[in-house]
């Protein structure tokens, strides 16, 4: 289980109040999209869930336990950029999580453990549609492929919560649609709760079970400093989406899009062959 | 077409690359010929034949006094000092640079100190080094280290700090400890920079080496140049300077090749 309880959280930087009085309970296996105008603190909120930043007041509980004050393996993350390691190949990137978990001092796997790790990593790589690119470095991949790699890299840890910070914001619409299908499938197949920050309303409503909007209720210039943003809308998608269950009301809405041929963001598959 | 958009062809590029060198040699030859025509014993600008004779004497004939082949023994002596100095600097810089870049406590402790130390003019310390460490190899290597290491430390610390915060956070979510992140995420990414950093420090390293050799030594390229200066032996000084330059250029080139061969991704990143 992986229930998140955010209780009366405030975030202040010195005198500047960024978030005030944020309370939210995210059910296990939910997919929550956080939306709101730029600078309303939704990324700050995500970083607090991640443990990269601490709440000034209030508590965040994961499965009833307070969140540790630093990022850890129970919470995976995909950022918009810099999520993958440029010095590792696709396989190396996915394998890294295994290596860091198993080998404490060398942080490398050898022999049978390595072969098992590679096997698992390859399966995940195939899962996100990157088979055949195992030996490539991120600089040789397109933006969409890099984000799929970042997903695979996070998923090998089997995190309780997956945090996404505008992960698909820089991708073009066609590729974004493909990666949405992938994201939805991964959410159905794994046991994780997903929290995603996005600017794209369409994305929020296509993927999420629940869309939460952050806004500053008081936004006059003289009020900006002392009043932060808070949750102003909390919309449950209807008919409800549930992880692992096909949609009862309109099956085609959440049904898989059947992909023919390789993903479109694969530079080696474009008809002209150029990057 | 605008000047900023005109590009030379491959052949033109090669010709342009060679042009300054050819011009330099031509200017020297002309100057040397003019002076020698006036006075056949002129020592200031020896002819190319003079150089050949001097190089032959130093490189291929044993020295009458010691029996050494001077050019090679000088080169060996200098290179050992240079690489010892650079090697120690590199290891220090890697270690201290990484902890400054990664650990806020050690950054608070060391970064300002290193910044101040790097401003001390190393040559001003040379007398102290000679007094404390004697006139042997130690003080010369120490001068190179003192001259080169602080800059390298700062450069590597900056590079480690420059790594996107996202990468470090991602590594933490993959279960990495500080040590593991240093080993698997930070170290491999700053090693290419370390090589580039050594390349950029080659010039200063040679400067400090020659300065130390000029003052106290019994062998070495810098020692020889300053020794024969007394006899106005331009026919030795010029080839030695060219040889030092050649050694530096070669080291620079080899280091860059090593970077590309060992860290192919660093070249991809540059292009990307």
> What domains appear along chain A, each with residue ranges and CATH number?
1-74+161-275 (3.40.50.300), 82-158 (no CATH)
Quick one: closest CA in B to A92, which residue? B184
pLDDT class for B222, splitting at 50, 70, 90? Answer: very high
Neighbours of A133 (CB within 10 A): 20
> Is-cis flag, bond preceding A239, omega within 30?
yes
Pairing of strands A4-13, A57-62: antiparallel
Kindly report the nearest CA distance between residue A174 and chain B, in angstroms.
Answer: 23
**What pTM, to 2 d.p., does this model score?**
0.83
Query: Quick check: helix, strand or coil at residue B123?
Result: helix
From the centroid of its chain, how far is CA B43? 30
Domain assignment present for residue B36? The answer is no
d(CA A159, CA A191) in angstroms, rounded, equals 8
pLDDT class for B105, splitting at 50, 70, 90? Answer: very high
Domain assignment present for residue B206? The answer is yes
**Of B118, B58, B56, nearest to B89 (Cα)?**
B118
pLDDT of A272 reads 46
Contacts of B160 (CB under 8 A, 6+ apart): B97, B98, B100, B101, B102, B186, B190
Q: How many domains does chain B have?
A: 1
Residue to test with chain A: of B166, B167, B168, B174, most A Cβ within 10 A: B174
Residue to test with chain B: of A43, A44, A86, most B Cβ within 10 A: A86
Quick one: closest CA in B to A80, which residue? B166
Residue to test with chain A: of B159, B162, B175, B178, most A Cβ within 10 A: B175
Torsion of CA A151, A154, A157, A162, to 10 degrees: -90
Are the Cβ atoms of A153 and B170 closer than 8 angstroms? yes
d(CA B219, CA B72) in angstroms, rounded, equals 10
Residues of A with CB under 8 A from a CB of B: 50, 52, 70-73, 75-77, 79, 81-88, 96-97, 99-101, 104-108, 137-140, 150, 153-154, 157, 159
Asked if the C-beta of B180 comes within 8 angstroms of chain A's C-beta atoms, the answer is yes
Per the document, the length of chain A is 275
d(CA A131, CA A145) in angstroms, rounded, equals 11
Helix (H) or strand (E) holding A211: strand A210-215
Are the Cβ atoms of A73 and B171 closer than 8 angstroms? no
Neighbours of A102 (CB within 10 A): 16
Helix (H) or strand (E) holding A44: helix A42-50
Residues of B in contact with A159 (CB under 8 A): 173
Kindly report the nearest CA distance between residue A86 and chain B, in angstroms.
Answer: 7
d(CA A4, CA A1) in angstroms, rounded, equals 10
pLDDT tens-place values along chain A, 275 residues long: 788 899 889 998 888 888 888 899 999 899 999 998 888 888 899 999 999 999 898 899 998 889 888 999 999 999 988 889 999 999 999 999 999 988 888 888 888 888 999 999 999 999 888 888 999 999 999 888 999 999 999 999 999 999 999 988 888 877 888 888 888 888 888 889 999 999 888 888 888 899 999 988 887 888 777 888 888 888 888 777 887 777 665 545 555 455 555 666 766 655 544 43
> Looking at residues B112-122, what average pLDDT do you find?
93
For tokens 């192919």, the residue is: B264
Are the Cβ atoms of B183 and A71 closer than 8 angstroms? no
HSE, side-chain direction, 13 A CA sphere, residue A259? 16
Q: Which letter does DSSP use for residue B115 in this model?
A: H
pLDDT of A82 reads 86
Helix (H) or strand (E) holding A61: strand A57-62
Q: Which residues of B85-112 are buried (b: 16+ CB within 10 A; e: fewer)?
A: bbebbbebbbebbbbbbbeeeebeebbe
Kindly report the nearest CA distance between residue A267 and chain B, in angstroms.
Answer: 14
d(CA B227, CA B240) in angstroms, rounded, equals 12
Domain coverage including residue B121: 72-271
Q: B41: which 2 tokens?
A: 């014993």
Domain assignment present for residue B167? The answer is yes
> Looking at residues B72-91, what average pLDDT do you find?
94
Query: Quick check: helix, strand or coil at residue B67?
Result: coil
Give burial (CB, 10 Å; 0-12/13-18/19+) of A271: exposed
**Of A103, A106, A138, A134, nearest to A120 (Cα)?**
A134
Residues of A in contact with B164 (CB under 8 A): 81-82
pLDDT of A254 reads 53
Q: A258: which 2 tokens?
A: 């059947």
Residues of B in contact with A100 (CB under 8 A): 171, 174-177, 180, 184
Q: CATH number for the domain including B147? A: 1.10.3720.10
Are the Cβ atoms of A83 and B166 closer than 8 angstroms? yes
**Of A92, A207, A101, nearest to A158 (Cα)?**
A101
Kindly report the nearest CA distance between residue B250 and chain A, in angstroms.
Answer: 27
Domain assignment present for residue B56? The answer is no
The CA R_g of chain A, rounded to the nearest whole Å, is 19
Domain assignment present for residue B104? The answer is yes
Domain assignment present for residue B10? The answer is no
Quick one: closest CA in B to A105, which residue? B180
Quick one: closest CA in B to A136, which residue? B265
Residues of B in contact with A154 (CB under 8 A): 170, 173-174
Asked if the C-beta of B185 comes within 8 angstroms of chain A's C-beta atoms, the answer is yes
Are the Cβ atoms of A82 and B185 closer than 8 angstroms? no
From the centroid of its chain, how far is CA B8? 31
Least trusted range by pLDDT, from A10-24, A219-233, B78-92, B221-235: A219-233
pLDDT of A202 reads 84
Domain assignment present for residue B235? The answer is yes
**Which residues, in sequence order, are bridge partners of residue A58?**
none
* The dihedral sign for the CA sequence A170, A172, A173, A179: negative
Q: Which letter does DSSP use for residue A140 in this model?
A: G
Domain assignment present for residue B170? The answer is yes
Are the Cβ atoms of A137 and B170 closer than 8 angstroms? no
> Looking at residues B145-159, what average pLDDT do you find?
94
Smallest Cβ–Cβ distance between A82 and the set B164, B177, B272 belongs to: B164
- State ipTM: 0.85
Helices (H), chain B: 10-38, 48-60, 70-102, 104-117, 122-133, 137-162, 165-173, 178-181, 187-215, 221-228, 234-262, 264-271
Are the Cβ atoms of B180 and A107 closer than 8 angstroms? yes
Contacts of A186 (CB under 8 A, 6+ apart): A127, A128, A151, A155
Could you give the strand order of the β-sheet that contains A161-165, starting from the edge strand earlier in sequence?
A75-78, A161-165, A193-197, A31-35, A210-215, A230-236
Are the Cβ atoms of B173 and A50 closer than 8 angstroms? yes
């Amino acid at each position: 289980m992986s229930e998140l309880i955010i209780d009366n959280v405030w975030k202040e930087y010195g005198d500047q109040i960024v978030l005030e009085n944020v309370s939210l309970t995210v059910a296990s296996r939910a997919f929550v999209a956080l939306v709101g105008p730029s600078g309303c603190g939704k990324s700050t909120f995500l970083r607090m869930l991640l443990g990269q930043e601490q709440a000034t007041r209030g508590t965040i509980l994961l499965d009833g336990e307070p969140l540790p004050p630093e990022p850890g393996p129970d919470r995976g993350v995909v950022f918009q950029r810099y999520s993958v390691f440029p010095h590792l190949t696709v396989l190396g990137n996915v394998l890294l999580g295994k290596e860091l978990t198993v080998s404490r001092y060398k942080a490398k796997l050898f022999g049978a453990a390595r072969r098992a790790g590679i096997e698992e990593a390859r399966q995940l790589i195939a899962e996100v549609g990157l088979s055949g690119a195992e030996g490539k470095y991120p600089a040789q991949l397109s933006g969409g492929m890099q984000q799929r790699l970042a997903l695979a890299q996070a998923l090998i840890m089997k995190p309780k919560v997956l945090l996404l910070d505008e992960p698909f914001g820089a991708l073009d619409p066609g590729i974004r649609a493909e990666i949405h299908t992938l994201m939805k499938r991964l959410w159905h197949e794994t046991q994780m709760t997903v929290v995603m920050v996005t600017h794209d309303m369409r994305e929020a409503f296509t993927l999420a079970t629940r869309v939460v909007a952050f806004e500053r209720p008081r936004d006059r210039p003289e009020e900006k400093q002392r009043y932060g943003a808070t949750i102003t809308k909390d919309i449950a998608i209807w008919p409800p989406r549930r992880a692992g269950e096909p949609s009862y009301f309109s099956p085609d809405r959440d049904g898989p899009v059947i992909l023919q041929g390789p993903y479109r963001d694969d530079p080696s598959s474009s008809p002209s062959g150029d990057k | 077409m605008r000047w900023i958009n005109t590009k030379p062809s491959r052949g033109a590029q090669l010709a342009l690359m060679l042009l300054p060198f050819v011009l330099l040699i031509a200017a020297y030859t002309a100057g040397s010929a003019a002076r020698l025509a006036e006075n056949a014993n002129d020592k200031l600008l020896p002819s190319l034949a003079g150089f050949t004779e001097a190089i032959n004497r130093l490189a291929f004939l044993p020295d009458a006094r010691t029996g050494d082949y001077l050019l090679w023994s000088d080169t060996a002596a200098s290179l050992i000092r240079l690489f010892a100095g650079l090697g120690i600097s590199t290891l220090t810089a890697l270690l201290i640079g990484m902890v400054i870049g990664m650990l806020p406590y050690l950054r608070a402790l060391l970064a300002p100190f290193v910044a101040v130390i790097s401003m001390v003019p190393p040559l001003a310390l040379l007398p102290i080094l000679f007094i404390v460490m004697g006139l042997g190899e130690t003080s010369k290597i120490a001068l190179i280290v003192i001259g080169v290491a602080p800059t390298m430390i700062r450069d590597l610390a900056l590079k480690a700090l420059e790594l996107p915060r996202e990468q470090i956070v991602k590594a933490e979510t993959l279960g990495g400890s500080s040590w593991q992140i240093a080993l698997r995420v930070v170290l491999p990414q700053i090693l290419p920079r370390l090589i580039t950093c050594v390349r950029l420090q080659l010039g200063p390293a040679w400067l400090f080496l020659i300065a130390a050799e000029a003052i106290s030594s019994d062998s070495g390229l810098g020692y020889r140049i300053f020794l024969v200066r007394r006899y106005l032996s331009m026919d030795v000084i010029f080839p030695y300077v060219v040889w030092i330059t050649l050694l530096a250029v070669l080291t620079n080139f080899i280091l860059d090749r090593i970077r590309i061969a060992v860290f192919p991704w660093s070249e991809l990143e540059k292009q990307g």
